[in-house]
Amino acid sequence: MTIKYKNPYGDSSFETFNKENVAFVDKTGFIEVIDHLDTKYPVLLRPRRFGKTTFVQMLLCFYDISFKDKYNEIFKGTNIIGKNLPTHNTYHVINFDFSGVSGDNSKDLISNFNHKLAEAFTNFNRRYPDFNFNCEQEELSPSAFIGKFFSHYEMYAKAKNLYILIDEYDNFANDVLSNNRDLFKTITQSNGFLKDFYKTIKTFTNTVVAKTFITGVSSVSLDSLTSGFNIAENVTCDPNLNEFAGFTKDELIGLIEKLVDTKALNTTAENIAEIMRQAYNGYAFCPEAKHTLFNSSMCLNYIDYISLKKTIENPERVLDPACAFDKSKVTDIISFTPKNVLKLVASEFENTGEIVISELAQSINLNQLEQYDLQTSLSVLYYLGYLTIKNDGVGSRICLTYPNKMMKYMFELCFINVLIPKLEDDENCIFDITSMLRGDNSLDSFIDSVTEYLSLRITNQHLLGFNENTIKVLVRAKLEDLKMLSVNTEQKLTVPMVGEKFADLVVDNQKGTYYLFEFKYFSKAKAQQQPSILQEKIAEATEQINCYKKALEFEGKTLYSYIAIFESINCVHFEQV
């Protein structure tokens, strides 16, 4: 099979997709949805690397007058082409992209912000040579700089016909928040340059600005935007826009069919999509969502990987480096949250896998909050993509859960690291994996090193929230830190005559040998109350591990399987089964 299409991974230049035979998911139907929104100034938030920039570039090609002669070429074969909407190529569009703005102080931030403005103005000059705006005015404040542009446009167009696109409105602010909270407060306060910038845009909606479209990741900076530009409306949870970014399963299958030689891999596009589902799917952005969504960048990266390697791989091992969900982001959020709130969240997720709040925080003002409350903390985690909305069928409340296995693990690990802090020399506490690396089956020294690590890290005050899941997550994290083994928790297994099962821990030494673990846990108090608990846990774990060993995933492979029973932090029974 000859692959005729190019993978759009890392490419958001919608203008050239058709011309260069780049495969893409047709999202043009959402242009009509945007045209019919009740607001002319929507704000639409989605997690990082979800396809927002490509969508913004599509809007630029559709609305901007300078693309009118290329309309049929650019939109050939799309849903929008035959509708001939009256809005196509009728506006002058200015497109701002604030990703990449950085700085260690206000002066540097403003300078870099102005540089991004100048880039957009230069691009506008290029599309409209007779506009001839002087872009070399970066010594001005951002509000004065854009004000000069608006005044120049007013003389040029003599009409209210400017469409402003702002991509990644909060990108730099979120990075500043992670590294310097005081600086974040400075730039977002009532007299900060961000509020002034958006106030200027609002002022010129009376004369030159016809519409705006703003994308970003979270609502942490939205207070700065909405205070200065209070006519903007957050439409993030509009059910009609749920699928504007990301891929549905059908959309993903269509892409795979164009980009992967499935016959050479002896599989189908449907099967590849199913393999990707647990790691990359599960996102929904309103309670009424009809479909969950795959993270588009992660999917395209995986498709690129299997096409290049010509083999199917576990998606959890193929993490998009550009998408790498930074654990520090979750840790930052958690560090701003009181311990009693964290324990409540951890308990709810441990018991039910979900948590309910009345509504998402629409804008979050960290100049007024020293710590996140429950609603704020969970809302930020949702906006960043670590949690997602689950339709539980109960009214208008918001039920939040993990979107997929990968996010579940990261979420749990970050919570554990805050509630049970790492040791000062944690990196020097190394598990003994010598036998695993050799492919041997004697792992007594490994489990001894696990017990020793837990005894050093877990104190009496930590035992209240300590459980089997804590053991699994900590063991996986320590093994992954060594970067010598492939490790997976809750790995899906297909057992003949039984169905799907999920193993606690599977370790691949990447030399042909697999290690399968089943963990059980009970407290010292439980042992005193129920003397038979150890034998019951041994029997339960043995039955489970014997079932998992029959999984199709282990056929023809060298497999060693073990049960490990913990009383508190001590492994009281370890056995190869």
Res 247 pLDDT > 80: yes
Q: What is the DSSP letter of 392?
A: -
User: What's residue 383's pLDDT?
Assistant: 87
The Cα-based distances of 476 to 38, 233, 487, 504, 505 in angstroms read 48, 43, 6, 10, 8
The Cα-based distances of 264 to 3, 261, 306 in angstroms read 12, 6, 11
pLDDT digits (tens, 9 = 90+) for 538-548: 999 999 999 99
Res 532 pLDDT > 60: yes
Residue percentage of the chain with pLDDT more than 90: 68
Pick the more confident residue, 405 or 29. Answer: 29
Res 421 pLDDT > 80: yes
Q: What is the pTM of this model?
A: 0.90
Joined together, the tokens standing for residue 364 give 């979050």
Res 323 pLDDT > 60: no
Which whole number is the average pLDDT over 309-320?
Answer: 85
Which whole number is the average pLDDT over 217-221?
Answer: 75
Helices (H), 321-373: 327-335, 339-352
Tell me the DSSP string of 155-189: HHH-SS-EEEEEESTTHHHHHHHHH-HHHHHHHHS
The Cα-based distances of 13 to 22, 61, 246, 325, 505 in angstroms read 10, 10, 17, 24, 42
Helices (H), 361-520: 374-383, 405-419, 434-438, 444-457, 468-482
pLDDT tier for residue 178 given thresholds of 50, 70 and 90: low
User: What's residue 393's pLDDT?
Assistant: 67
Range with the largest mean pLDDT of 48-57, 164-173, 328-337, 349-358: 48-57
From 35-39, 218-222, 245-249, 516-520, the region with the lowest mean pLDDT: 218-222
Contact 208, 164 (CB under 8 A): no
No. of helices (H) and no. of strands (E), the chain: 21, 13
User: What's residue 365's pLDDT?
Assistant: 66
User: What's residue 322's pLDDT?
Assistant: 57
**DSSP strand pairing (499-508 vs 486-495):** antiparallel
**DSSP strand pairing (388-390 vs 398-401):** antiparallel
User: What's residue 368's pLDDT?
Assistant: 67
pLDDT tier for residue 338 given thresholds of 50, 70 and 90: confident
Which whole number is the average pLDDT over 74-103?
Answer: 93
Res 2 pLDDT > 80: no
